Structure 1
């Protein structure tokens, strides 16, 4: 019988909340007026998941990804996805060392703690598929040899939802690897004016310093997994998933992987608020960005203006929450 890991104490939960608040504050120096998107992105980091930023050009997708990478002590890498990018450009390749007379593995940019996959939908499906194993298992297999990545590991991908020329839509299997899909949106007028002044003098992104150590962040991720979840909350998540699967306006409902991601995000959200247990409110707050991108609308639903986010909202309304 598997022994249950000890629950996180209230003192540890408050300690990690303080770490999270410092991370949010520092990213907020570079991304003005966007506290909620910042909190969601960093919650995704603490859950051990991957993030897909989908928004219009110039709204700060890449800046947010860079800011997260800069406040986390450790290695970060950026991959600019283009149509001619090859899988080996992502994962790495074996090269022959003439002095040693043997092949040596040269790791690709995916071997970093925080990896920015910029404009991911511009690469071919063959190259996109190079991320499937690494995002699910934190492992890379090249020429039959498997190489493990260290924790923490997070892929932050960006894509433009309105530009389709020269792009390859992410398949459902790839979308399902992202724990969260979110947008940033335009900043409030006052914050945008301040941003214009800062970016044309001394960009704050260049001044960010690490506030989370490698070991400290890994400890926070492990602590989030030990957050307590009542059985009623687990059943609530299952009921939400079941509602999407039974919805006739969907061709495909939420997968079991999406339920795992939702519960992991809910645990991480609890710890960011100094709690060692999950509330139904955690699940409700995270269900739209976790579930919507995994749902496939039926063809007739698209014609009537139904959206995946709307279906998730209906599921939250129709499914009784535990008390």
Structure 2
């Protein structure tokens, strides 16, 4: 049974919480650039601030984190190490996505809470596991390819299924424990793999499950994906700093330039997309996702060779096949849920009384 979005009067917004967070962040940033003399460093890295002006809008208005722009800009355009792109994704999203998440919560927007809680618990376990035991053993080229493949498949999914995805209303209400377990496995697996390796992606995995499996409205699925990415990004930064790994050289300098932009840019994306709709933005970002895959294959053709590029294409096809299986499974689950609901209604219906024959 699909549960529609609530029609009762909206809850009172508490935007002062977001404004308080914003004031606190800018106070710290101003202390760094003015009090600690980092202003020349921030100015020297202005190209990243410009890039993240676009990235932060995408982060707040789509299920792709700000690292979706930051990673390819650093790795493909500036030709910096993929590990730097990963760490920068964690760092910049810990500001931009967190700001957007606080904005979403302050506005009291609907979220898929059962799945989100499970995903947060799963990420709490999976992300540190991946950072310590998986990411260090992934070669730089593979990090690029994982990013390119996952984002290309996600982009193609939206180019072909956007009308269907955008047409969902409410969210299919399965058993709350089932939703929690689904979120737990998503957080555990996506946190340990795609998020730990690339710094982004857990939001897209959760979003995909919500729209394909649960048939969730974009107004629920995208804010939920923003919150899980914010949580995972902060977790990733904390784990790296506390464990002594630290962030890759160059992350802080780029973060210093881009952070004040994303702190306001991501929430702005949340606000603007509520006015103009999500389909145009999703189409543009989906096209960029496919474009960065082509760009990656072109720039790495010498190292990949023909066989490597074919394997990358097969990996994209495998992801798309997985999405289609998830979509069909969702259709089955929704059908079963509807059938059970209809059966319950019939059971509760009062028995028919026959008129006495004359």
With normalisation by structure 1, the TM-score equals 0.28
With normalisation by structure 2, the TM-score equals 0.26
Structure number with the bigger relative contact order (C-alpha 8 A, sep ≥ 6) is 2
Q: Give the number of the structure whose residues are more often strand, by fraction.
A: 1
Q: Give the number of the structure whose residues are more often helix, by fraction.
A: 2
